Amino acid sequence: MTLTRRNVLQASAGAAALALTSNQARADEPIRIGFLTVKTGPLAAGGIQMEQGMLAYMKIKGNKLAGRDVQLIVADTGGSPQGTRTKAQELVERNKVHVLMGPVAAFEALAIGDYCEAQKMPTLGVAAAEDMTQRHSSIWFARATSSSGQCAHAIAHYAAKELGYKRMAVIGDDFAYGHEQNGAFLRVFEDNGGKVVQKLWPPLNAPDYGTYVSQVKTNIDAIFMSFAGSNGFRFAKAFNEYGLAGKIPILGGMTAMDEAILQQTGDDGLGIITASFYSPQYDNAANREFVATMQREYKIDPGYYASGPAVEAAILEAALLSVGGRIEDREALMKAVRANVVENTVRGPVRFDSHGEAIGNVYIRKMVKQGGRYINNVIKTYPDVSQFWTYPEAEFLANPVYSREYPPAKNLES
């Protein structure tokens, strides 16, 4: 408690100091942000949007955070763990960055976890791997977006309580991100009276979803999909090809029906309900400006990938204000990140738990067509969602991390 209060005081003191003595409090050199993203290869779609989101946000900010100039150094990891490691080392040791943002994918983030820890490198992540802010959290890492399960918990609750679904199937990419989302969904859905009766795991690079679509049970209330990249789009198309549209509703995780692929998905995606930590519809000044800038500069609505850096940048700015702009004081900076409550990020208010994971809104959205464009229309907002959902933190962390087999599915039907 004292820590929180002190930091709030520091934040206001810092802001005041900046306002009063602009030159003194500012160091001469700019803040160097190392931005790890993917601009080539199959993960590039998300990676490029991440960069666009950051550039749009910095444009709005006049390329300054907390009064200090920002130098953004973008590195393309190529979407591989070793590439991420090389680029991270380059950013830290050659470019002498003050803080790292990114990378896109969990396996990239895991490849640099120990390095960032050893270098005491403040890292603001977006990749969703659960344990980075749970069983293997680090004071040098914070995530203002969402863990894999954080949004899946919320939509599982929505499916059981608001939609009244009793029997559901889950399908997801056969890798950690899909496993974690489906595990989280299963736990909350079954704890609220539902039954997961079927689990399907197509390989991440499945050439065709036809064979999986034709295995989906027809006597279920709905199916939950946790896909990444363009897989959600492809699954929805196959689903309709087989004439299942309108017969079995589809729910999805935070990347399953992203804003970036809505226009391409078209009518095939109408009615799909997904959960995300961000919505372009969220109404505050920061988000209105962010959405307008994204639409003007890049002709797209921001979604999961584009909004992440915009949230992280707001968190960074608030922490900078708390430490009087001294980004060089890494430990104080990361303490401030966790202690602050930032009210006006593009996703709404954000605070952090003691493991460095954001507590914030989760939006339930339904894809509709409005004025000739496809949008994810927010139909419910879960406020202050923790990565532990409503479970006690100690109990949550005593369990194994969500996986293909955990929590065990007791209601599968063959």
Partner 1 sequence: MQFWIVQSLNSLAMGGLLFLLSAGFSLIFGLLRIPNLAHGGLFMLGAYLGATLLGGQMNFWLAALLSGVAVGLLGVVLEAVLLRRLAGNEQGQVLVTLGVSFIIADLCLMAFGGDPMPLGAPRSLRPPVFIGGFAFPGYRLVVLGCALAVAVLLWLLLERTRLGAMIRAGVDDREMARGVGIKVSRLFSAVFFLGAFLAGLGGVIGGPILSAYPGLDADMLPLALVVVILGGVGSLPGALVGSFIIGAIYNFGSALFPDFAYVVLFLPMVLVLVIKPTGLFGRVLR
Phi first, then psi: what are they for 8, rounded to 5°?
-60, -45
Q: At its nearest, how many Å lie between partner 1 and the CB of residue 194?
A: 22
**142: which strand partners?**
124
Q: At its nearest, how many Å lie between partner 1 and the CB of residue 41?
A: 7
Is residue 144 at the binding interface for partner 1, with CB under 8 A as the rule? no
Residue with Cβ nearer partner 1 (132 or 176) = 176
Q: At its nearest, how many Å lie between partner 1 and the CB of residue 78?
A: 10
Q: What is the DSSP string of 122-167?
A: -EEE----GGGGTTT--TTEEESS--HHHHHHHHHHIIIIIS---E
Could you tell me the sign of the dihedral formed by the alpha carbons of 319, 324, 326, 329, in that order? negative
Is residue 286 at the binding interface for partner 1, with CB under 8 A as the rule? no
Is residue 4 at the binding interface for partner 1, with CB under 8 A as the rule? no
Is residue 343 at the binding interface for partner 1, with CB under 8 A as the rule? no
Is residue 32 at the binding interface for partner 1, with CB under 8 A as the rule? no
> Is 382 in contact with 361 (CB distance < 8 Å)?
yes
- Taking CB under 8 A as the criterion, the residue among 215, 399, 403, 411 binding partner 1 is 215
Is residue 407 at the binding interface for partner 1, with CB under 8 A as the rule? no
Q: Interacting stretch for partner 1, rule CB under 8 A, among 87-95, 136-144, 181-189, 258-266?
A: 258-266
> Is 352 in contact with 260 (CB distance < 8 Å)?
no
Is residue 214 at the binding interface for partner 1, with CB under 8 A as the rule? yes
Residue with Cβ nearer partner 1 (40 or 63) = 40
Residue in 143, 105, 176 with CA at minimum distance from that of residue 400: 176
**Which structure tokens are listed for 30?**
């700019």
* 406 vs 180: CA distance, rounded Å: 9
* 271 vs 368: CA distance, rounded Å: 6
Is residue 46 at the binding interface for partner 1, with CB under 8 A as the rule? yes
Q: At its nearest, how many Å lie between partner 1 and the CB of residue 286?
A: 25
Burial class (CB in 10 A: 0-12, 13-18, 19+), 41: middle
Burial class (CB in 10 A: 0-12, 13-18, 19+), 284: middle
- Taking CB under 8 A as the criterion, the residue among 4, 42, 114, 379 binding partner 1 is 42
Question: How many CB atoms neighbour CB 181 within 10 A?
Answer: 36
**Which structure tokens are listed for 111?**
């490849």
Is residue 81 at the binding interface for partner 1, with CB under 8 A as the rule? no
- Taking CB under 8 A as the criterion, the residue among 123, 134, 182, 265 binding partner 1 is 265
Q: At its nearest, how many Å lie between partner 1 and the CB of residue 215?
A: 6
- Taking CB under 8 A as the criterion, the residue among 29, 114, 162, 241 binding partner 1 is 241
Count residues near partner 1 (CB under 8 A): 38
Q: Give the binding site for partner 1 (CB under 8 A).
A: 40-42, 44-49, 174, 200-203, 205-208, 210-212, 214-215, 229-230, 233-234, 237-238, 241-244, 260-261, 264-266
